[in-house]
Structure 1
Amino acid sequence: MALPPLSRALTGGACLAVLAASGYGWALATAPAPGRTGTDVLVVGSDSRAGLTAEEKSRWHAGGTACRCADVVMVVHLSADGRRASVVSLPRDSYVPFAPRDDGAGPIAHSGKINAALRQGGPELLTRTVERATGLDIDHYLQARFKGFVQAVDALGGAPVCTKEPMRDKNSGIDLEPGKHHLDGAGALRYVRTRHSGHGDIDRVRRQQRLVAGIAGRHLAAGTLADPPRLEALAGEVAGGLRPGPRTSVADMLALGRQARHLRLRDVEFATVPLESISHPAGEWGSAVKWNDERARAMFRRLAADRTLAPGDERGPRGGFDWTGRVAPGDRMDCD
């Protein structure tokens, strides 16, 4: 049985956030203009199987039909001084008001699951919908398809991960013993797609963030950002797996990478938007994720003001999975 679409996976999104949060320039931009309070990048992983061969679909357990949805949605904020980064995950089933759009018969305004905005109106509608939901001004957009994630992780030299429990899932193909592992792109894909745990997309979001922290930490420690030739070579390799926005160039990527050359993993913070419910009844949309509006607004106001995020708590049903907006520095991301 094939896994559901990549809406339940990391795909390219988390790995893209690695580079954006680490300043490798997947953020698609030059340094912010004077007076700006940092740069906000919308990083998206879609469920597109475009370019996959039958052998790749079989080997990567990528069967099923794509819905052309946004499986991963992350907002990456790089501070104006380039010394801090925040990665905020927006669960793909988040029920939010969509930005108005015109289908030719007049404006349409409705609410729905945030991942469907990509299918209904492409990157432009998804970007405006995220802006409406968060109150942020998104500066840049970056998207990766299914194959792009594997290519990007391989270009980055693989992904270090660790797990406290065995991870075995015949649907994703994951088979890991407890301990530390170094995964190639295909292995990383299995890791982020697994449904072996019981808390659905909320668990997967945190796994995405841990993968991002692991890759970013290795490259930050190696001083890649401070080495222009290495940065340029890496940006060129990774860019092949991405679908950047219309204003993107390799020069843009390198400029942001240079801006973030002093970034340290402990200054990259990861968070999930604070949630009120993961089983909110949403009519024709079925069960959805509902944000805690008051806490979510407070979180995004801090990002808009170029401030660090307030530490969150770890309370939650059934042992405390991350649904309350917990904020964790990159160097304190625990094993699963």
Structure 2
Amino acid sequence: MALPPLSRTLAAGACLAVLAGSGYGWALAAAPPPSPAGTNVLVVGSDSRAGLTREEKDRWHAGGEACRCADVVMVVHLSADGRRASVVSLPRDSYVPFAPHDDGEGPAAHSGKINAALQHGGPDLLMRTVERATGLEVDHYLQARFKGFVQAVDALGGAPVCTKEPMRDENSGIDLAPGKHHLDGGRALQYVRTRHSGHGDIDRVRRQQRLVAGITGRQLAAGTLEDPRKLHALVGEVARGLRPGPRTGVADMLALAWQARRLRLADVEFATVPLASISHPAGEWGSAVKWNEARARTMFRRLAADRRLAPADDGRGPRGGFDWTGRVAPGDRMDCD
């Protein structure tokens, strides 16, 4: 199965989960109080090209057909006291049991790549499938399309990134010299889509996390969360590219950000679900990603208990250089590629 471009909407969704909102009393009054177990937000980026002009597709190397799949699947956990956030990426080719659903021909129960759950049954099926795979209860759902990512990054003032080696990829259009760079939305899109490294989509997940950490750090350092005027202006722009889903409304998004106003970047931790294989044979689904079930259960149980993720997970992931899967990186220690 052809793989659509990865994670171009990651920053829009993840940054909203951590940043979006304001201190308006009406919104806080309308939203439910924080759960004592913390809050879980499912952040999804679809591969939809809706709203893109031909010129934009050419400029951003965004051609190709969409499969209406989820390019990005991330669980953002905000602690009950609002002082910690955990961002766990679920690779889009993860092979998991789908939640029960109607496939158009009656009730269906099968496994498949997690990104296809959005195509099979929309946001509701994807949300229930993530709940089934992780054991977590998803409180809120945010989804952004292709153009939403570009709009959000531009609204957030661009994305700081860095690379240790030259990054050039004709397919995505990225061309970066070693060092630090500040990218606008279109160039950030190229950055998150590149397959310039040998590890493909798994490396892209890590790159997405670094981009989100950079954007989040800039907003936290600027005090945006604590300034209702700044926050209101920012959210008005970022929210244009987002589509709230099941269990989520504007009041919820506002309340989430207000709850997170005391965050520090050092307390935003990033991880990828522990993996056992990146080439698991999955029948008609082709080669898929298989989780390390024991280590994944440990990770999600910590989130369910509103605890920090383990500061270091010494278990190694699949062969090929992916020993960072399952390991935890504080947002202020995200290294260059």
What TM-score do the two structures reach when normalised by structure 2?
0.93
Aligned to 1:279: 279
Q: Deviations over 1:215-256 (max 9, x none)?
A: 000110111001011011111110001111255444432222
- Partner SS, residue 136 of structure 2: coil
Counterpart residue identity of residue 90, structure 1:
L
- Between the aligned partners of 1:147 and 1:265, the Cα distance in structure 2 is 27
- Partner SS, residue 195 of structure 2: coil
Aligned to 2:314: 313
Q: Deviations over 1:69-111 (max 9, x none)?
A: 0000000000011000000000000000000012454321000
**Cα pair 1:24 1:254 within 8 Å, conserved:** yes
- Between the aligned partners of 2:239 and 2:183, the Cα distance in structure 1 is 20
- Correspondence 1:174 to 2:171: no
> CA 1:32 to 1:301, structure 2 compared with 1: closer, same or farther past 3 Å?
farther
Post-superposition shift, 1:317? 5.9
> CA 1:200 to 1:221, structure 2 compared with 1: closer, same or farther past 3 Å?
same
- Partner SS, residue 19 of structure 1: helix
- Correspondence 1:115 to 2:112: no
- Between the aligned partners of 2:122 and 2:233, the Cα distance in structure 1 is 30
> CA 1:287 to 1:215, structure 2 compared with 1: closer, same or farther past 3 Å?
same
Counterpart residue identity of residue 24, structure 1:
A
> CA 1:216 to 1:322, structure 2 compared with 1: closer, same or farther past 3 Å?
farther
- Partner SS, residue 320 of structure 1: coil
- CA-based RMSD: 2.0
Post-superposition shift, 1:18? 2.3
Is the deviation greater in 11-20 or in 219-228? 11-20
Aligned to 2:41: 41
- Between the aligned partners of 1:39 and 1:198, the Cα distance in structure 2 is 35
**Cα pair 1:11 1:71 within 8 Å, conserved:** yes
**Cα pair 1:309 1:327 within 8 Å, conserved:** yes
Identity rate of aligned residues, in percent? Answer: 82
> CA 1:316 to 1:121, structure 2 compared with 1: closer, same or farther past 3 Å?
closer
- Between the aligned partners of 1:257 and 1:50, the Cα distance in structure 2 is 27
Aligned to 1:239: 239
- Correspondence 1:71 to 2:71: yes
> CA 1:322 to 1:63, structure 2 compared with 1: closer, same or farther past 3 Å?
farther
> CA 1:219 to 1:119, structure 2 compared with 1: closer, same or farther past 3 Å?
same
Aligned to 2:8: 11
- Partner SS, residue 63 of structure 1: coil
Aligned to 2:297: 297
Aligned to 1:327: 328
**Cα pair 1:266 1:329 within 8 Å, conserved:** yes
Q: Deviations over 1:130-160 (max 9, x none)?
A: 0000000001111110000000000000000
Post-superposition shift, 1:19? 2.7
**Cα pair 1:235 1:250 within 8 Å, conserved:** no
**Cα pair 2:78 2:86 within 8 Å, conserved:** yes
- Partner SS, residue 162 of structure 2: strand
Gaps of 5+ in 1: none
Aligned to 2:133: 133
Aligned to 1:211: 211
Post-superposition shift, 1:265? 0.2
**Cα pair 2:19 2:216 within 8 Å, conserved:** no
> CA 1:220 to 1:108, structure 2 compared with 1: closer, same or farther past 3 Å?
same
> CA 1:34 to 1:186, structure 2 compared with 1: closer, same or farther past 3 Å?
closer
- Between the aligned partners of 2:315 and 2:157, the Cα distance in structure 1 is 32
Counterpart residue identity of residue 12, structure 1:
T
- Between the aligned partners of 2:34 and 2:218, the Cα distance in structure 1 is 31
**Cα pair 1:314 1:320 within 8 Å, conserved:** no
- Between the aligned partners of 1:316 and 1:261, the Cα distance in structure 2 is 34
- Between the aligned partners of 2:248 and 2:336, the Cα distance in structure 1 is 35
- Between the aligned partners of 2:175 and 2:330, the Cα distance in structure 1 is 28
**Cα pair 1:235 1:253 within 8 Å, conserved:** no
Counterpart residue identity of residue 264, structure 1:
R
Is the deviation greater in 258-267 or in 245-254? 245-254
How many corresponding residue pairs?
A: 330
